[in-house]
Amino acid sequence: MITSFKSLPNWSAMAVSLSNNLVKLYSPETGQYIGECRGHDSTINEISFSDSSSPHLLLSCSSDATIRAWDTRILQQVSLINAGPSQEVFSFAFGEGNNLIAGGCKAQILLWDWRNRKQVACLEESHVEDVTQVRFVPGSQNKLLSASVDGLMCLFDTSGDINDDDHLYSVMNVGTSIGKIGFFGQDYEKLWCLTHIETLSVWDWKEEKVEADFQEARSLTSESWVQDHVDYFIDCHCSAEDDRLWVIGGTNAGTIAYFPVNYKGRVMSSPEAILEGGHSGIVRSILPTAGLPGQSPNNGMFGWTGGEDGRLCCWLSDETSNVNHAWISSTLTVKPLHEELQAYQTILQSSKYKGCKEQV
């Protein structure tokens, strides 16, 4: 099962985390297998490439209580941070220019100095349950946001001698277990939040207020989707150019749709992009290459998806698509992950199956 994706900014490589505790690397342009990183002995919860100063460095965090760094040029582990016995690391984030790395753990947020891997802070009074997400605010190197199963989002100032009493900046109560968060807006002043019960809310974190709360998000998107219905949400996608926001929903049969979110008008519209025919089960992760549904600057490529069926699907855009109307991907490349054979097959598909070619 594929659990998450991350790519280098120049799209020379993408990392894929799997349910067997491996991270595999592929070329996102060709789908060619590059190699794997092996070392975790429990679930890998998040992966990310380092900043531009070390583009070859890939990091992963796991329920085995570690954050590991891998040199993707030699596919070897080069660094390890241990959160301690009986801990799990559900999420991690790099600070911009402050050498900090934060980890979301069991009811704690741990911070380390990345240069020497020494722990510099333990924030344990703000959350009472698992911390599912930690994110530094883009452009604000000392502001760290955490989100938890306890339904709270906490904003911290990570400058100086960090502690709960003096460095907790604000608390926002979502009211239910939080799954994913992300910043958007021209100044990254907006925050989207997806919960484990499939609700969506949009916040202004500077003002500490909710701007839109879609408690019936799944029903609203399903009502706007004439051809199908939404069983779950996968992620949100943002356009930096014009502050647009989409929530990405999926069906249990593997179809995916991008729904525009007008948070100011509190409206969810019919899908602007639909990806169907590639997956046969729940889709867990999406790696988009385009800024807008239907637009693809990367050689006609719309993006990659991975799911519980073990397939990597590369979706190709239809150049004739009009982004102002619903768009359905016309072609795709599917690469099932087989551990022993490392085989892949290419499927060309429009509305009907056209053919299959398998290489081992």
Region 177-199 average pLDDT? 96
Alpha-carbon distance values, 94 to 3, 12, 78 (Å): 21, 21, 17
DSSP letters of 32-62? -EEEEEE---S-EEEEEE--TTSTTEEEEEE
* pLDDT top residue among 118 and 295: 118
The CB-side HSE value for 135 (13 A sphere, CA atoms) comes to 20
For residue 321, the model assigns a pLDDT of: 45
* Residue 259, both tokens: 């729904």
Residue type (1 letter), 153: M
Task: Enter the pTM of the model.
Answer: 0.88
Q: Are 310 and 321 in contact (CB under 8 A)?
A: no
Q: Are 114 and 99 in contact (CB under 8 A)?
A: yes
Give the model's confidence band at 288: pLDDT under 50 very low, under 70 low, under 90 confident, else very high. confident
Query: Does residue 343 register a pLDDT over 50?
Result: no
> From CA 221, how far away is CA 267, in angstroms rounded?
10
Give the model's confidence band at 9: pLDDT under 50 very low, under 70 low, under 90 confident, else very high. confident
* Residue 243, both tokens: 């502050």
Query: Does residue 209 register a pLDDT over 80?
Result: yes
* φ and ψ at residue 209, rounded to 5 degrees: -135, 150
